Amino acid sequence: MDFAFSNEQEELRRTVRAFLAATSPETETRRLMETPEGFDRALWRRMGTELGLQGLAVPEEYGGAGCGPVEVGAVMEEMGRALLCAPFLSSAVLATTTLLRCDDEDARKSLLPGLASGELVGTLALTEDSARWDATGIQLNARASDGRWLLTGHKMFVLDGATADVVLTVARTDDGIGVFWVDGDAAGLTRTPLPTMDPTRRQARLDYDDVSATRLRTHADGWDLVSQVLDRALVTLAAEQVGVASRALDMAVEYAKVRHQFGRPIGSFQAVKHLLADVLLEVESARAAAHFALLAAEGDDPKLPTVASLAKAFCSDACLQATEQNIQVHGGIGFTWEHPAHLFLKRAKTSQLLFGDPAYHRELLARHIGLDAVTAEGTA
């Protein structure tokens, strides 16, 4: 299997990298961190109309490019390198994938064109106080009343939940889990931004007080749809983590070349060489894992849940290691607010926990390949 990007995909990467270098330098990232929305709406629309990034995975009939997870992953990797402040993961991945994988043509026709063009921002409201990423964590109640659905309860840690125009909400009904379309300005919906470690990726608490909603039609149980979405979100997040780790490594290598100590570059010291070599090995291994997972998602491989958990666990650790060692190589200056190293470390740490930490996904991986059963027999 060839893990390399095609010529067209490499050209997409180069185009996105050049665009982000021009529009999202560090100064812009720091500016947007301090704004109420946390991203630039005008730039978001440019990304949709000029580059078509939000619509990469959207079929042409809904105004998209009709590409797949590999192209989305290539873009996410570049966004990770730039530490882009934008709701791409929540809108172009979570919300868009939910609509693409459900069985509701009316919702697709209504929402996908706006999401693809950048006119709309979407998100998926899933986790609650327990911060669990499985069906047992869903307690928000949905009940039918006079031909409509009403949602009551709250959601926590919703990506871009305070600014999204469309909130796809996972709720519990009398017949199982359902996914519901809620307008961001719906009556009874209260959205409260949450303080987070990573100011470049916003989260919010959403409170629902008999909020009117439309239930999305699904092929089977609603949790089956959510599981499919999460698997694909894991893969794209892994690609972004590779981008963050790669940029951190580049920063460390560049500094090791120009920082002199005892009359020579610190990169010439054996200890620094070994440190950077270890990080390079982790980053390239993470890239292989992420690309393999993207290909599995592209082909709807039945082993995608296994591959996705593997990629998320490995890429999370590699990304955190790369960003931590970047600070170590920079020494004292790497610990200051003025240097960008801490921003990459914060993105790495929050991404490590997003959609489940490495320990959680190693446990899932063990279940997928049957190791939990073997362990149980051995214990017995």
- Per-residue pLDDT tens digits for 215-245: 999 877 889 999 999 999 999 999 999 999 9
| pLDDT attached to residue 3 | 62
Q: Contacts by 364-368 with C-beta closer than 8 Å and gap 24+? A: 364/305, 364/309, 365/306, 365/309, 365/310, 365/313, 368/305, 368/306, 368/309
| Residue 284 domain-assigned (yes or no) | yes
| Residue 1 domain-assigned (yes or no) | no
Q: Which helix (H) or strand (E) holds 204?
A: strand 203-215
- Distance CA(268)–CA(265), nearest Å, equals 6
Q: Which two tokens stand for residue 52?
A: 């078509």
- Distance CA(295)–CA(318), nearest Å, equals 20
**pTM > 0.85:** yes
| pLDDT attached to residue 188 | 94
From 200, 222, 244, the end of a domain falls on: 222
Please indicate, yes or no, whether residues 91 and 152 belong to a single structural domain of this protein. no
Please indicate, yes or no, whether residues 255 and 375 belong to a single structural domain of this protein. yes
Please indicate, yes or no, whether residues 150 and 96 belong to a single structural domain of this protein. no
Please indicate, yes or no, whether residues 236 and 218 belong to a single structural domain of this protein. no
- Contact in structure between 215 and 176 (CB atoms under 8 Å): no
pLDDT digits (tens, 9 = 90+) for 163-200: 999 999 999 998 899 999 999 999 999 999 999 999 99
Contacts of residue 332, Cβ cutoff 8 Å, sequence gap at least 6: none
Please indicate, yes or no, whether residues 189 and 170 belong to a single structural domain of this protein. yes
| pLDDT attached to residue 1 | 55
- The total domain count for the chain is 3
CATH number of the structural domain spanning residue 74: 1.10.540.10
- Distance CA(273)–CA(253), nearest Å, equals 9
Q: Which stretches of the chain are DSSP H helices?
A: 7-23, 26-33, 41-46, 69-82, 96-101, 105-117, 222-258, 270-298, 304-330, 341-353, 358-368, 371-379
Sign of the alpha-carbon torsion through 39, 158, 133, 363: positive
Residue for token digits 């996105």?
Answer: 16
Q: Which helix (H) or strand (E) holds 143?
A: strand 141-145
Low-confidence ranges of the chain (pLDDT < 70): 1-3, 372-380
| Residue 47 domain-assigned (yes or no) | yes
CATH number of the structural domain spanning residue 307: 1.20.140.10
| Residue 2 domain-assigned (yes or no) | no
- Return the SS3 of 118: coil
Structural domain for 207, as ranges: 124-222
CATH number of the structural domain spanning residue 182: 2.40.110.10
Q: Which two tokens stand for residue 283?
A: 């980053």
From 222, 255, 272, the end of a domain falls on: 222
Q: Which helix (H) or strand (E) holds 177?
A: strand 176-183
Please indicate, yes or no, whether residues 347 and 269 belong to a single structural domain of this protein. yes
Chain center to CA of 345: 16
- Contact in structure between 234 and 63 (CB atoms under 8 Å): no
* HSE-CB for 270 with a 13 A CA cutoff: 0
| pLDDT attached to residue 179 | 96
From 169, 188, 222, the end of a domain falls on: 222
DSSP state of 301: -
